[in-house]
A and B are shown apart, each in its own frame.
Chain A
Amino acid sequence: MMTRRYRSRTLGVLAGTMSAALALSACSTAPEASGYKEGDPYTLTVWTNFTGEAGLAWFDSVAKEFEASHANVTVKAQHIQNEELDGKLQTALNSGDAPSVFMQRGGGKMRDMAKANQLLDLTGSAADSPELREKLGKVSYEALTVDGKLLAAPQLVQPGGIWYSKDLFKQAGITEIPKTVDELAGAIDKLKGAGITPIALGGKDAWPAAHWYYFFALRECSKDTLEATNNSLDFSDPCYEKAAKDVVDLAALKPFNEGFLNTSAQQGASSSAGLLANHKAAMELMGNWEPGVVKDLTPNREPLPDLGWFPFPQVASGKGDAKALMGGKGGFSCSAGAPKKLCGEFLALMNSEKNQESFYTAFGSIPLHADAQDVVKNDYDKQMIDALNEATYVSNFLDTNYGQKVGTVLNQAVIELLTGKTTPAGLVKAITEAAGRN
Chain B
Amino acid sequence: METAAHVNRDVPDSARTGASAAEAPAPAGGPAQGRRVPWRRWAEIALLAGPGVVVFVTFVIVPVLMAGYYGFFEWSGYGVPTEFVGLRNYELIFTDGAFLEAMWHNGFILVMSLILQGPVAIGIALLLNRRMRGRSLIRVLIFVPYVISEVIVAIGFSLMLHPTGAVNDVLDRIGLGGLALDWLADPDVAIWTLMLILVWKYIGFAVILMLAGLQGIPDELREAAAIDGASYWQTQWHITLPLLGPTIRIWAFLSIIGSLQVFDLVYVIWGQYVADTAGTSTMATYMVANGRISGEYGYGSAVAVVIFLISLVIALVYQRYVLRRDTEGALTEGVA
Binding site for B on A (CB under 8 A): 1, 90, 93-94, 108-109, 112-113, 115-118, 203-206, 258-259, 261-264, 270, 403-405, 407-409, 411-412, 415-416, 419, 421, 437
Whether the pair B273, A412 counts as a contact (CB closer than 8 A) is yes
User: Contacting A258 at CB < 8 Å: which of B161, B164, B270?
Assistant: B164
Binds A, one of B20-28, B38-46, B58-66, B73-81: B73-81
Binds A, one of B102-110, B144-152, B287-295: B287-295
User: Contacting A416 at CB < 8 Å: which of B76, B165, B271, B277?
Assistant: B277
B185 within 8 A of A: yes
B182 within 8 A of A: yes
Given contacts A112-B77, A113-B78, A419-B277, contact A262 B163 (CB under 8 A): yes
A408 to B277, CA, bound (A): 14
Given contacts A206-B274, A415-B274, contact A270 B159 (CB under 8 A): yes
Given A203-B274, A261-B274, A403-B295, 16 additional A-B pairs, CB 8 A: A112-B77, A118-B78, A205-B271, A205-B272, A259-B163, A261-B277, A261-B278, A262-B161, A264-B271, A270-B164, A404-B295, A405-B295, A415-B273, A415-B274, A416-B276, A437-B92
Set of chain A residues within 8 Å of B304, measured between Cβ atoms:
none
Set of chain A residues within 8 Å of B269, measured between Cβ atoms:
262
A258 to B161, CA, bound (A): 12
B326 within 8 A of A: no
CB distance from A47 to the nearest CB of B (A): 16
A407 to B290, CA, bound (A): 11
Given contacts A262-B158, A262-B184, A415-B274, contact A408 B294 (CB under 8 A): yes
How many of chain B's residues have a CB under 8 angstroms from any CB in A?
31
Q: Please name the 10 residue pairs, one residue from A and one from B, whose CB atoms are nearest each other, closest first.
A: A116-B79, A404-B295, A259-B163, A206-B273, A408-B294, A204-B271, A261-B185, A116-B78, A112-B76, A112-B78
Interface of B is mostly: loop
Binding site for A on B (CB under 8 A): 76-80, 92, 158-159, 161-165, 182, 184-185, 269-274, 276-278, 289-290, 293-296
Nearest residue, chain B, Cβ from A205: B271
Whether the pair B78, A108 counts as a contact (CB closer than 8 A) is no
A118 to B80, CA, bound (A): 11
Set of chain A residues within 8 Å of B77, measured between Cβ atoms:
90, 94, 112
Set of chain A residues within 8 Å of B290, measured between Cβ atoms:
408
CB distance from A429 to the nearest CB of B (A): 13
CB distance from A426 to the nearest CB of B (A): 12
Set of chain B residues within 8 Å of A408, measured between Cβ atoms:
289-290, 293-295
**A-B contact list, 20 entries, CB within 8 Å:** A90-B78, A93-B78, A94-B80, A109-B78, A112-B78, A112-B79, A115-B76, A116-B79, A116-B80, A117-B79, A118-B79, A206-B273, A206-B274, A258-B164, A259-B182, A261-B185, A261-B278, A262-B163, A262-B185, A270-B162
Nearest residue, chain A, Cβ from B184: A262
A116 to B80, CA, bound (A): 8
A203 to B272, CA, bound (A): 10
CB distance from A277 to the nearest CB of B (A): 16
Set of chain B residues within 8 Å of A108, measured between Cβ atoms:
295
Set of chain B residues within 8 Å of A118, measured between Cβ atoms:
78-79
Given contacts A259-B182, A405-B294, A437-B92, contact A204 B274 (CB under 8 A): yes
Set of chain A residues within 8 Å of B165, measured between Cβ atoms:
259
User: Contacting A263 at CB < 8 Å: which of B78, B80, B162, B277?
Assistant: B162
User: Contacting B296 at CB < 8 Å: which of A115, A264, A405?
Assistant: A405
Whether the pair A411, B79 counts as a contact (CB closer than 8 A) is no
Set of chain A residues within 8 Å of B272, measured between Cβ atoms:
1, 205-206
